[in-house]
Structure 1
Amino acid sequence: MGKICDRNYAGNSMYTMKMIDGVGCCPNCNKPAICHNASVESRALFWALSGDTGNSSRTIAGHMTGNLVESDMMPPGDRDDRSRCIRLLELIPEWLPRLDEMKKYDAPDTKPEGVVINNSGIGAYDNSWSKQIPLIAKEGNFYA
């Protein structure tokens, strides 16, 4: 999934959209056309209703909007969780500069090493936002 392109559907109804899974999408970037020049609130609502959510992406959205539910402060646990976070951040790139704020939800590291998660080098007991944020940035090509 590419970054948001700059086509302005609201300002020019002559652009054609293509349908992907019943959603009108940009023919250039294949992203839902709602992302084009829509407010952060509109894009966040679109994401929340999309079904492409998980605990870690809900944690990011909750923190960034000031609506964090304490039971949802989990960092990504695997590549699929990171992918959902990446897709959220592609839809709302304004949150990227604030991503390091998520580190405040890291628990103190007092547990044993545990099993390594999906060849990431991160043990299941020491998983944290501090360790996952660089992977999100790398896999999402956000700081390239």
Structure 2
Amino acid sequence: MPTPKRGKQYTRYGTKHFTFETDQGFETKLMKSGAVRALVVTKTGEMAGNMIKAAPRGPHVTTDAYSIKKNIHPYVEQVGDEWVGYVVIEETDRARHAMLQERGYKDPAGVRHAGRRYLRSVLESERVE
């Protein structure tokens, strides 16, 4: 059994002919730059906008405070040396029905309602292959 390495461990990934180490050289400076942050902000905002467009409208007559469309928000933060974008759904715990609409549910009478899969369809359309 080999002995574990000492010291700081670097993140490495790549293919047979190329290895990318995030803790060395210009790559780290690039990932911390404002240009990368602006790109992550733009793409996260676009994805959140597409999710809002795809989200079902609720029968909210008096208020929209708990509708699914009003509870989808993009956030960007720095995690380690990289910028990461998040799309948060339902910050308000009283609006918990977005995932029920996504996956489907059984009502109190026991009738199964199929999911709409609107979040999944947006994520699949944004996927890079």
TM-score range, shorter-chain basis? under 0.3
Higher helix share: 1
Higher strand share: 2
Return the TM-score normalized by structure 1. 0.23
TM-score with structure 2 length normalisation? 0.25
